[in-house]
């Protein structure tokens, strides 16, 4: 960078060093809220932006809507100046604006960037010179440079442009993929290395400085595209390996082999193997979605990601496999799936979290209902499940005391609060998709 660019970036850097920099985080969900709280812990003045007025009101009243974030943590942040708002006009007073909004798939399994484009459109009118805009939302390589940058430049009334070289007055843009792992209490958020790619050296330098205030290690890459691809690789790696064990589970069931026993034996190898476990399907915002983002973008380059798409297909078919096993287990007891009462244990996509995004439970319930089953659920994290992007359940959690009334209990999410020995003792039939009953020997258990 030249002397001119160094002078421009040093202004924000000084404000970061003195903790005077104002940080704006757009999207107060599972990614944005924890990030905002990290900055608040370092006594930065943080403003959370969200279009959901209920979330904003909850936060400003010291409340929380995410189980793993207690209200006390929100209250502590509020005392340090954290506040939430639906007013995007306040973007103008921010030094750094970090975008953490959803990037789902549409009904055709194509990228839906409407949350990103809508957010950028809301930010652009309030841009000012010297601001740093960072996108954290998981997306395909090229989104930052091909979508975000042009929209910011086109929609801001001042005619500001991205300062790629740091010399021309303008604003800075970078991409840094979120690496949230809900329910992980082993690795502290600060200890997760932060990958950063900037639109030019000045943006990269600034973004690294911003994240360096709250993360113990930053990893710089050559471009936003490289950072975007890094996140996709991380999640596609998991998707492919989970698809492998999901397919092996189906084969092992036919062969009379316990795949979980095999995995535990393979884990003893001190090199060349990492354990992945089968389940009822993928959930969460990233792993079920990321392969489709990359396969969609790959078509632009006349490239067919056959291996990745196959993994996605295998994982998507797991709920259908589970339902067929439930039907077969009932048939072995001279009962039809149609008309049977089924209790789903666990609605969230993984253990001990309150996150329904892409949860296989939703698909399993839908498939069971289509087959004529009378379905209810129990989940300690969801007293009620209403309507979402891909579901309209409007159901309340059924007490575990009613287990004997059901023809079948299906373990979809193995929350630690469940006492599976008691559940098995009360149930007529248990279909276990998580190996949660591995230490229990009973004739009413079917593992799949």
Q: Quick one: tokens of 3?
A: 């002397």
Query: How far, in Å, CA of 194 to CA of 208, rounded?
Result: 9
Give 259's contacts (C-beta < 8 A, 6+ positions apart).
245, 248, 249, 252, 253, 278
Is 252 a known active-site residue? Answer: no
**First vs last C-alpha separation in the chain:** 58
- In 3D space, the residue among 173, 222, 169 whose CA is nearest the CA of residue 11 turns out to be 169
C-alpha distance from residue 340 to each of 58, 376, 407, 427 (Å): 40, 11, 6, 14
Strand partners, 345: 378, 411
Residue 307: strand, helix, or coil: helix
Cα within 13 Å of Cα(96), Cβ side = 33
CA–CA dist 234, 428 (Å, integer)? 41
* Strand partners for 385: 395
Dihedral (CA of 63, 65, 71, 73) sign: negative
DSSP 148: I
Q: Is the dihedral of CA 216, 219, 224, 230 positive or negative?
A: negative
Task: List, in order, residues 6 or more apart from 341 with CB less than 8 Å away.
Answer: 373, 374, 376, 405, 406, 407, 408
SS (H, E, C) 314-361: HHHCHHHHHHHHHHHHHHCCCCCCCCCEEEEECCCCCCCCCCCCCCHH
Residue 375, classed as helix, strand or coil, is strand
- CA angle, residues 277, 192, 228, in degrees to nearest 5: 80
Among all chains, which residue has been given the structure tokens 């082993």? Answer: 186
Catalytic pick among 45, 100, 199, 286? 286
Task: Name the residues annotated as catalytic.
Answer: 286
């Amino acid at each position: 960078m030249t002397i001119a660019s160094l002078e421009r970036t040093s202004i924000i850097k000084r404000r970061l060093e003195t903790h005077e920099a104002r940080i704006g985080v757009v999207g107060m969900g599972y990614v944005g809220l924890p990030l905002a709280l990290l900055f608040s812990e370092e006594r930065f003045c943080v403003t959370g932006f969200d279009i959901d007025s209920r979330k904003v009101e909850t936060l400003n009243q010291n409340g929380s809507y995410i189980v793993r974030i207690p209200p006390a943590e929100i209250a502590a942040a509020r005392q340090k100046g954290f506040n939430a708002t639906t007013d995007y006009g306040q973007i103008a007073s921010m030094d750094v604006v970090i975008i953490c909004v959803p990037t789902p798939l549409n009904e055709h399994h194509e990228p839906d960037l409407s949350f990103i484009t809508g957010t950028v459109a809301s930010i652009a009118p309030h841009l000012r010179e010297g601001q740093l805009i960072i996108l954290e939302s998981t997306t395909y390589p090229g989104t930052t440079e091909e979508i975000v940058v042009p929209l910011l430049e086109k929609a801001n009334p001042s005619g500001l442009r991205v300062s790629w070289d740091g010399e021309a007055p303008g604003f800075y843009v970078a991409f840094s993929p979120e690496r949230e792992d809900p329910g992980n209490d082993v690795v502290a958020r600060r200890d997760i290395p932060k990958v950063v790619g900037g639109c030019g050296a000045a943006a990269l330098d600034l973004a690294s400085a911003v994240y360096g205030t709250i993360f113990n290690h930053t990893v710089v890459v050559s471009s936003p595209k490289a950072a975007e691809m890094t996140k996709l690789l991380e999640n596609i790696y998991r998707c492919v390996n989970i698809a492998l064990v999901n397919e092996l589970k189906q084969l092992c069931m036919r062969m009379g082999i316990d795949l979980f026993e095999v995995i535990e034996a393979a884990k003893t190898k001190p090199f060349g193997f990492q354990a992945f476990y089968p389940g009822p399907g993928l959930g969460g915002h990233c792993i079920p979605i990321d392969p489709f983002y990359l396969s969609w973008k790959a078509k632009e380059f006349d490239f067919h990601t056959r291996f990745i798409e196959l993994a996605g297909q295998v994982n998507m078919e797991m709920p259908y496999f589970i339902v067929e096993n439930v039907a077969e287990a009932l048939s072995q007891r001279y009962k039809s799936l149609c008309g049977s009462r089924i209790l789903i244990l666990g609605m969230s996509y993984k253990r001990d979290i309150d996150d329904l995004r892409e949860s296989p439970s939703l698909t399993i319930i839908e498939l069971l209902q289509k087959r004529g089953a009378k379905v209810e659920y129990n989940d300690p994290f969801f007293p009620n499940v209403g309507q979402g992007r891909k579901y309209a359940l409007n159901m309340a959690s059924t007490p575990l005391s009613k287990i004997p009334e059901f023809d079948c209990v299906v373990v979809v999410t193995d929350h630690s609060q469940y006492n599976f020995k008691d559940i098995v003792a009360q149930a007529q039939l248990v279909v276990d998709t998580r190996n949660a009953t591995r230490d229990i020997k009973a004739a009413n258990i079917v593992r799949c």
